[in-house]
Amino acid sequence: MVTLNIDGRELKAEKGQTILQVARENGIDIPTLCHNEALEPYGACRLCIVEISKGKRTRIVTSCLYPVEAGLEVKTDSSRVISNRKMLLELLLARCSKNKVILKLASQMGIEQPSFKSEYLEDNDCIVCGLCVRACEQVVGVSAISLVNRGIAKEPASPFLEPAADCIGCGSCYYICPTGAIKMEDRKDSRIIYNWKVEFKLKKCKVCGNYWAPEKQLEYIKKKWNLPEDFFDTCPTCK
Partner 1 sequence: MNEKVKAIISKYNGDKGQLVSILQDIQTEYHYLPKEALIKVSETMAIPVSRVYDVATFFRAFSLEPRGKHLINVCLGTACHVRGAARILEEIERNLAIKRGETTKDRKLTLETVNCMGCCAVGPAVKIDGEYFGHMSTDKVDSVLTKFE
Partner 2 sequence: MSANKNEMPKKFRSKQDLEALQKELINGRKSDKALIAVCNGTACHPYDCAHIIQAFKQEISQQGLENKTELRITGCHGLCEKGPIVVIRPGDIFYQQVKLEDVPEILRETVSKGNIIDRLLHADPTSGKKIVHRNEVPFYQKQKRNILGNNTEIDPIKIGDYIAIGGYTALAKALSEMTPEEIIEEIKRSGLRGRGGAGFPTGTKWESCRHAPGDIKYVIVNADEGDPGAYANEGLLSGNPHSVLEGLIIGAYAIGANQGYIYVRNEYPLALANITIALNQAQQLGLLGENILGSGFDFNVRITRGGGAFVCGESTALMASLEGKVGEPRAKYVHTVEKGLWDRPSNLNNVETWANVPVIINKGADWYRTLGTDGSKGTKIFSLVGKINNTGLVEVPMGITLKEIIYDIGGGIREGKKFKAVQTGGPSGGCLPERLLDLPVDFDELTKAGSMMGSGGMIVMDETTCMVDIAKYFLTFLEEESCGKCVPCREGIKRMRQILDDITDGKGSEEDIDLLERLSATLVDSSLCALGNTAPNPVITTIRYFRDEYEAHIKEKRCPAGVCKALIHYYIIEEKCPGCGLCVKACPQDAITFLGKKKPVALDESKCIKCGACYDVCKLGAVGRK
Residue list 159-188, contact with partner 1 (CB under 8 A)? 159-160, 164-166
- Closest approach of partner 2 to the CB of residue 47, in Å: 8
Q: How far apart are CA 75 and CA 61, in angstroms?
A: 11
Selection from 132, 141, 138 nearest residue 221 by Cα: 141
> Which residue number, 31 or 159, has a Cβ lying nearer to partner 1?
159
Identified binder of partner 1 from the candidate list 74, 144, 176, 181, rule CB under 8 A: 144
Which entry of partner 1, partner 2, none binds 164, CB below 5 to 8 A by partner kind? partner 1
Q: List binders of partner 1 among 186-215 (CB under 8 A).
A: none
Q: Answer for the pair 220, 171: CB distance below 8 angstroms, yes or no.
A: no
CA 146 to chain CA centroid, nearest Å: 14
**Cβ atoms of residues 124 and 96 within 8 Å:** yes
Query: Do the strands 155-157 and 73-75 form a parallel or antiparallel pair, or are they unpaired?
Result: unpaired
Please say which residue, 32 or 217, places its beta carbon nearer to partner 1: 217
CA–CA distance, 234 with 121 (Å, rounded to integer): 49
Question: Which residues, listed in sequence order, are joined to residue 201 by a DSSP beta bridge?
Answer: 190
Write down the H helix ranges in 131-211. Answer: 131-135, 172-176
β-pair type (146-148, 155-157) = antiparallel
Contact of residue 165 among partner 2, partner 1, none (CB under 5-8 Å per partner type): partner 1
> What type of residue sits at position 117?
K
The answer to whether 105 contacts partner 1 (rule: CB under 8 A) is no
85 or 134: whose CB is closer to partner 1? 134
Q: Which helix (H) or strand (E) holds 24?
A: helix 19-25
Residues at the interface with partner 2 (CB under 8 A)? 43-46, 49, 60-62, 65-67, 80, 83-84, 87-88, 91-92, 94-95, 115-117, 120, 127-128, 130, 147, 149-154
Q: Please name the residues in contact with 30: beta carbons below 8 A apart, sequence gap of 6 or more.
A: 20, 23, 24, 48, 50, 63, 76
Q: How many CB atoms lie within 10 A of CB 41?
A: 20
- Give which of partner 1, partner 2, none residue 83 binds (C-beta under 5 to 8 Å, depending on kind): partner 2
**Number of residues binding to partner 1, judged by CB under 8 A:** 16
Binding partner of residue 144 among partner 1, partner 2, none, CB cut-off 5 to 8 Å per kind: partner 1
Q: How far is the CB of 158 from partner 1 (least distance, A)?
A: 7
Question: Nearer to partner 1 by C-beta: 2 or 142?
Answer: 142
From the list 62-70, 82-90, 154-162, 172-180, the region that binds partner 1 by CB under 8 A is 154-162
Residues of this chain that bind partner 1 (CB under 8 A): 133, 142-150, 158-160, 164-166
